[in-house]
Structure 1
């Protein structure tokens, strides 16, 4: 039998919540994913959210925690760490250190970029959309995103309306066991009860012994693991098993089918047979789940350590055709040329190789050849996929819209799939490099390079490509060159003043003609030369370049 850990490490914040609730006479427990992760010790407790359950009602919780948030109908009251720090007068040195860790973690989520968007945005404002700017496109330090503590009243059940992201109806429970037995999987149905006397002593000593970043090692003498459904054993054996009857759990919320696969790939677990069978049986019910909830689970799978396995599992149980039916068509579509696998296997291998931590880039990688099945032609004896990147870009965007990705992310999907076929040769001119950068957009350069690397590796190529590395160097060299009409040394007002022109289509065409000249010959981007070129174009409209 697996052993209960000899100790667990906790931050002070959830203990403050437990203390206040026990002082007020309520039963209180740490539950859910926090218990699972504390046992596994695979996540940094400094960055963990905590779920707490209690017999206190939301109204009673708000009396105890007046600064908490309660803007829902499903019984969850949320507390920020800042709320607790202020009311408990937590040591400032500790608070500052916690915020620094959170800020550093937020910044580390972005991979090192070839294109410095902060610098680039100061030179090429038109190529960067400041209304939808990414965090790395600002000079300001990243905002600290501290963990959250969510407190929920015991539940005995909940119902979801079709398409709902949150339960539309919640039945309050009367006991912890009643609450645990309505949860999805055994590994999420464990609870921790901490010794209230020990917590009280700890809280009283805070003035003399302020909390540290080493956390609090809670010995097993001071906590009880409540494990009615043998989640500890399943965690030890790496098994995802439903609490009670698998079919009943899925009927309660069809999203649990996706959650089972997500936990399997996040935690390197297998899915228990009866749960797997139930998922296959009820796969079609995923149609009743909102696209937003499906999207969020898919993103977590793509960001997991095993994204390829996630797609394979989705396919094996019949869920993939509910989410990405276009991808299923890739099975058996041979490619020829340097490819040794079909489109399906290549797409999955590319996803597995994707170096980007961005879920949109990973999804674009999975979908980069999405239209090869529909553009397949072998009349010449060799497979061809004419225009598959053009058609595929539209399909990828439609998939993004169907899954309720933001407008910006849908456009990113389109761009990444549309231009993933770029080729570089050393003889390419600097102007050709600049045209590529302008076409793709500076904000997408790093992402399309990641997709290209994934595409290569998914075809069995070596990790390093000297051509790709040389292209990167040349793109960096071109960053200070004109890449858009707005980079010209003159603008429309200059032309109207110098040549007595009015705002018109002709004015825009003039500027575009000048830009095409400068794109090829950046040294001509100065006021005198551009005005002379304008005069020549106006005199002889057939002259567009020199």
Structure 2
């Protein structure tokens, strides 16, 4: 559980944040009031103000229609957009601020529909009661800055609890995606979900099936990229939601064999995810790295299908890397992930065991080059996944694996320095191959290119002249081989 929210500190944080954003919210409040409309800061910005978090993205709600909002924001903002008009939302940017203003709403899902039926409401109170959780159902009226908290969001924020404003069954029936959002907010805020909501999520898990794959995917990405993804993922598994959106995760809860010859794959996976998060600074990016985290989550999903018990009771999972990569690709395609993300995660799953062939450093330079070649632009993420995959409690074994991987990374770096940091490619390009061999573009150029690449991987870089001589030698041997095959065929037919 997170530390309880100190109410005095929260009040100070809110006052400081409201003062910081007042040049924007105060001016907008006065503009809407002059036009005869209500305006309030709502949801996440209010919640985060109490948690001491600053944002330049502001969500507001209003009694004005989208058309009236557009007339007010148009002259005020630097840029205006209305992609959310059908849902009552008009957005604009002014300097560093991004503002989205949504008309009071009351919406709900038809039991068989993937899209909510949007209806505009007529009061702030009605708008707040339809929101997902009490900590998101607080508002600050503008320009006067009066706090509206009709459902006890401040108290729930203080106790670190996610609770729905009304009956959770009604809330989740109105919008089943809120069940995913419960897990996501638990992961983001490190909050508990109250018992009534958990019970409703469990009873109503199948309702998530009416939500589009894209919306489920977006919530899953936010959950995985949250500071505490284990909490949210465990909730999805506990309630049965994971069975419907990411069934590969609960499938990792394999029945233990009576001799406990293999580790708990599910708990191991969540630990690998957390360790991959700890290693993210190695990647040099800003913020969470979804590809690295999701690869950690999926790296062992091939184990349930490949588990075998051999004669002495030993458990094996042969080829679970290959099987897991196929499962990962299929699941990510079903969730409508981009092709690039799907290929990156699947590639990491497929390669996550490769390092274990390294032994104590017996790989040749050729094998190291192939490791780098196969990882391609995912090499740094593969370093993270491979290191994170060590969850043994045997400290001597863990230290040995770490030192061995240190050695592999050092060898990769030495080869890069000696041979150039560019991607491994043949010493001659396609045009040079065609010129040297005197052949047109076609299949034979591709064969020659691949042969030169293998030679580059085996022997390292060559000069252009050495590569030319090697290519001509291979071409001559290839021709001799073809002539010999034709002679053999001719003698057999005679």
Other-structure match for 1:88 = none
Q: Matches of 1:459 and 1:440 in 2, distance apart?
A: 28
For 1:492, which of 425, 430, 453 is the aligned residue?
Answer: 430
Other-structure match for 1:208 = none
Q: Matches of 2:33 and 2:130 in 1, distance apart?
A: 24
Other-structure match for 2:234 = 312
For 1:157, which of 98, 107, 115 is the aligned residue?
Answer: 107
Other-structure match for 1:64 = 72
Cα 1:388/1:337, change in 2 over 3 Å: farther
- Displacement after TM superposition at 1:538 (Å): 2.2
Residues 14-413 of structure 1 mapped to structure 2, 5 A cutoff:
14-41=25-52, 43=53, 45=54, 47-66=55-74, 67-72=79-84, 73-80=86-93, 84-85=94-95, 148-159=98-109, 164=114, 168-196=116-144, 223-334=145-256, 341-355=263-277, 356=280, 357-380=288-311, 381-413=313-345
Cα 1:336/1:350, change in 2 over 3 Å: farther
- Displacement after TM superposition at 1:190 (Å): 0.6
TM-score, with length taken from structure 2:
0.84
Contact between 2:187 and 2:230, CA under 8 Å: does it hold in 1? no
Cα 1:450/1:252, change in 2 over 3 Å: same
Contact between 1:347 and 1:458, CA under 8 Å: does it hold in 2? no
Other-structure match for 2:416 = 479
Q: Matches of 2:452 and 2:296 in 1, distance apart?
A: 36
Q: Matches of 1:515 and 1:172 in 2, distance apart?
A: 63
Q: Matches of 2:239 and 2:65 in 1, distance apart?
A: 39
TM-score, with length taken from structure 1:
0.76
Tell me the secondary structure at the aligned position of residue 119 of structure 2.
Answer: strand
- Displacement after TM superposition at 1:437 (Å): 0.7
Tell me the secondary structure at the aligned position of residue 146 of structure 2.
Answer: strand
- Displacement after TM superposition at 1:351 (Å): 1.4
1:49-100 Cα distance to aligned partner (Å, 9 max, x none): 21111111111111112242112301001112xxx23xxxxxxxxxxxxxxx
2:475 pairs with 1:538? yes
Structure 1: gaps (5+ residues): 86-145, 197-222
Contact between 1:163 and 1:290, CA under 8 Å: does it hold in 2? no
1:468-494 Cα distance to aligned partner (Å, 9 max, x none): 222222222333637999833322322
Moved more, 343-352 or 11-20: 11-20
1:249-297 Cα distance to aligned partner (Å, 9 max, x none): 1110000111112112221211112111111110011111111111111
Contact between 1:434 and 1:483, CA under 8 Å: does it hold in 2? no
Cα 1:543/1:520, change in 2 over 3 Å: farther
Cα 1:450/1:39, change in 2 over 3 Å: same
What is the root-mean-square deviation in Å for CA atoms of aligned residues? 2.7
Residues 504-519 of structure 1 mapped to structure 2, 5 A cutoff:
504-519=442-457
Q: Matches of 1:268 and 1:419 in 2, distance apart?
A: 32
Contact between 2:89 and 2:101, CA under 8 Å: does it hold in 1? yes
1:192-223 Cα distance to aligned partner (Å, 9 max, x none): 12445xxxxxxxxxxxxxxxxxxxxxxxxxx3
Contact between 2:373 and 2:424, CA under 8 Å: does it hold in 1? no
Q: Matches of 2:260 and 2:138 in 1, distance apart?
A: 51
Using CA pairs under 8 Å that are at least 6 residues apart, name the structure with larger relative contact order, 1 or 2.
1
Contact between 2:61 and 2:102, CA under 8 Å: does it hold in 1? yes
Contact between 1:247 and 1:278, CA under 8 Å: does it hold in 2? yes
2:16 pairs with 1:5? no
Q: Matches of 1:455 and 1:377 in 2, distance apart?
A: 21
- Displacement after TM superposition at 1:2 (Å): 5.1
For 2:379, which of 442, 445, 456 is the aligned residue?
Answer: 445
Contact between 2:82 and 2:89, CA under 8 Å: does it hold in 1? yes
Matched pairs, number:
448
Tell me the secondary structure at the aligned position of residue 412 of structure 1.
Answer: helix
- Displacement after TM superposition at 1:522 (Å): 2.1
- Displacement after TM superposition at 1:24 (Å): 2.8
Q: Matches of 2:293 and 2:119 in 1, distance apart?
A: 39
Contact between 1:53 and 1:154, CA under 8 Å: does it hold in 2? yes
